[in-house]
Structure 1
Amino acid sequence: MPTNDQLVRLGDVELCVETFGDPADPGVLLIQGGAASMLWWEAELCRRIAAHGRYVIRYDNRDTGRSTNYPPGRPAYALSDLARDALGILDSLDIDRAHVVAQSMSGGIALILGVDHPTRIASLTFVSTSTGAPGLPPPTWSSSAEPTPAEPDFDNLPAVVDYIVSWARREAGDSPYFDEQATRVLVEQDVARARNIASTLTNHYAQRFDGPAGGSFGDITAPTLVIHGDRDPLFPLAHGEALRDAIPGAELLVLEQAGHGVPRPLWDVFVAALVQHTGR
């Protein structure tokens, strides 16, 4: 569990933020995906990145962890508001420009930051995300033996934990790296610290998915790295390839035998690529 996190107030929103490393080092802002608190950027991974001379920031998006939440099914925000939250966190830490790492749904946040706020972005890294363009392959759930989890009773926390673990197992696909025991420990911590777990599991998918005002992926000017698992069942690898092709000069790192996300056995590969990318 976080030991030195803090609540940052941005207007009428509170966001829980935790930092690792020396504030004098280049800032790396980690943004998690849908329904995922900052705990999914695990503390050990953050420390490994910080050990290479990076000031690492992770935080709970609205409706996750200890940050502001809204009634289930009624999120009072859009994706662009979450992008402004990210900038507000940088402002609170006196960081003019940061390297932004965005996973899954938060790729939309990184897109808005990269297009509409380029002077604040030193580089972008997209992890397990997609352009959302028509014609890309659908999820490969049908080839998985893992059934679609049924939504739990949100008052039954053990059932909620089982539900989230089932989704994590499903998103790992046929990757050999899925560690159910470690995932369950993480999920139990996440559920225990959430202000409202029903909001966490509902509201990110009910928000308004707007985009940048100034263009799209082709208008990103920041150095960009795309990281994608070759066994991702939610966004098959073609999504990562399309994202690389859509952003001028972007590079693609394929994580072999990885599903959706960055599994622990590949942290060294991920950290090495991120340190190189953010050191330019």
Structure 2
Amino acid sequence: MNSAVERHPPKTQTIQVNGLSFFVETRGNPEGEPVLFIMGLGAQMTLWPEALLNAYADAGYRVIRFDNRDIGLSSQVKARLNGHPLAAMARYRLGLPLAAPYTLHDMARDACGILDGLDITRAHIVGVSMGGMISQILAGDHPSRVRSATLIMTSTNSPRLQLPKLQLIVKLAGVGAKGHDEEAVVNRSLAFWKTIQGTVHPTPLQEVQERLRSDFRRSYHPAGILRQTRAILATGSLSSITRRIRVPTTIIHGTADPLVRPGAAKQLQYLVPHARLQLISGMGHDLPEPVLHEIAKSGLAMMASV
């Protein structure tokens, strides 16, 4: 067999969890130890690089990825948001309570429900950004479901952490976004991508643009992205949960991440003393092809020791 698709033909299904429908894909050895990949804010499961998924499948694991609620081909939550996004961010920063249709705790329960739907008791967890926050909740509050945790470019979500640059905060809040046709969305997303990708291994912009077009045609639900953002803000700091993590943990972070600053990774390592921290020089808030081998090697080494 010549291609990764032939080696690991993906299978898709929908699983009903918490009154919602989730689009789930599995690949690799169906008898292998399961690895659940959890994506970040506003990103469909298609953002996981195929090369990274297939590295785990090649190692004999059962690889699972899914669209979070409110994104991709999973269910949208029918709920309106109250208040201006920037006002919500201000309340979060001040540590004030914030209303939201759901929180990251609900999204962690989604992940548990997906494992139930696949008849999986425990899984290795790989989470990126918001998915890394969900992974912390799983490992801290649902330890019986987690064999190990790989936390990539994520944080405890503490409002005391260094903020991203102001222009990123404004863009994340959706302020000034105009146009919802394909060209407008792709151009806006491409501009955002340029600000968060790394300095050493930037992905060619044509490749990024092609992926953005493909994702737009697959699904585009901007209201869901705003609700996911509100879920992060309403959840607040995860520090007390992160302190309870006892499963083997690897933390991976780029030194050039402008969105979730490298100091967040160091705080995670402090709160999870047994965790291994790997800083990747020049990596931003992205998963560029040249560093995928390094990311997979680090995660697989830790998982093999469990």
TM-score when scaled to structure 1? 0.89
1:57 to 64, 67, 73: 64
- Does 2:140 align with 1:115? yes
Could you list the per-position Cα deviations for residues 144-167 of structure 1 after superposition, in whole angstroms to 9, with x for gaps in the alignment? xx9x9941322x122111111221
CA drift of 1:3 comes to: 6.3
In structure 2, the CA distance between the partners of 1:197 and 1:142, relative to structure 1 (3 Å rule), is closer
8 Å CA contact 2:11–2:27 kept in 1: the answer is: no
CA drift of 1:173 comes to: 4.8
2:29 to 22, 25, 48: 22
Could you list the per-position Cα deviations for residues 6-52 of structure 1 after superposition, in whole angstroms to 9, with x for gaps in the alignment? 21112420000001101211111100110001001123321122101
Letter in 1 for 2:177: E
CA drift of 1:141 comes to: 6.0
Letter in 2 for 1:116: D
In structure 2, the CA distance between the partners of 1:215 and 1:239, relative to structure 1 (3 Å rule), is closer
Structure 2 residue matching 1:178: 3-state secondary structure: coil
Letter in 1 for 2:77: Y
C-alpha distance in 1 between matches for 2:106 and 2:160:
29
8 Å CA contact 1:149–1:166 kept in 2: the answer is: no
Letter in 2 for 1:199: A
8 Å CA contact 1:80–1:212 kept in 2: the answer is: no
- Does 2:214 align with 1:207? no
Letter in 2 for 1:247: V
- Does 2:112 align with 1:87? yes
Partner residue in 1 for 2:177: 151
TM-score when scaled to structure 2? 0.82
Structure 2 residue matching 1:248: 3-state secondary structure: coil
Partner residue in 2 for 1:267: 292
Structure 2 residue matching 1:262: 3-state secondary structure: coil
Structure 2 residue matching 1:125: 3-state secondary structure: strand
Runs of 4+ residues over 6 Å off in structure 1: 211-214
Moved more, 225-234 or 6-15: 6-15
Letter in 1 for 2:66: Y
8 Å CA contact 2:44–2:72 kept in 1: the answer is: yes
C-alpha distance in 1 between matches for 2:237 and 2:143:
11
In structure 2, the CA distance between the partners of 1:14 and 1:187, relative to structure 1 (3 Å rule), is same
Structure 1 residue matching 2:132: 3-state secondary structure: helix
Partner residue in 1 for 2:84: none
C-alpha distance in 1 between matches for 2:79 and 2:186:
18
Equivalences, count: 275
Gaps of 5+ in 2: 82-99
Structure 1 residue matching 2:231: 3-state secondary structure: coil
CA drift of 1:134 comes to: 5.2
Could you list the per-position Cα deviations for residues 156-189 of structure 1 after superposition, in whole angstroms to 9, with x for gaps in the alignment? 1221111112212211153442321111111111
8 Å CA contact 1:228–1:254 kept in 2: the answer is: yes
C-alpha distance in 2 between matches for 1:151 and 1:254:
33
C-alpha distance in 1 between matches for 2:200 and 2:298:
21
2:275 to 221, 231, 250: 250
Partner residue in 2 for 1:31: 38
Could you list the per-position Cα deviations for residues 102-151 of structure 1 after superposition, in whole angstroms to 9, with x for gaps in the alignment? 111122211211111101100011110112335433324679xx9x9941
Structure 2 residue matching 1:99: 3-state secondary structure: strand
CA-based RMSD of the aligned residues comes to 2.7
Gaps of 5+ in 1: none
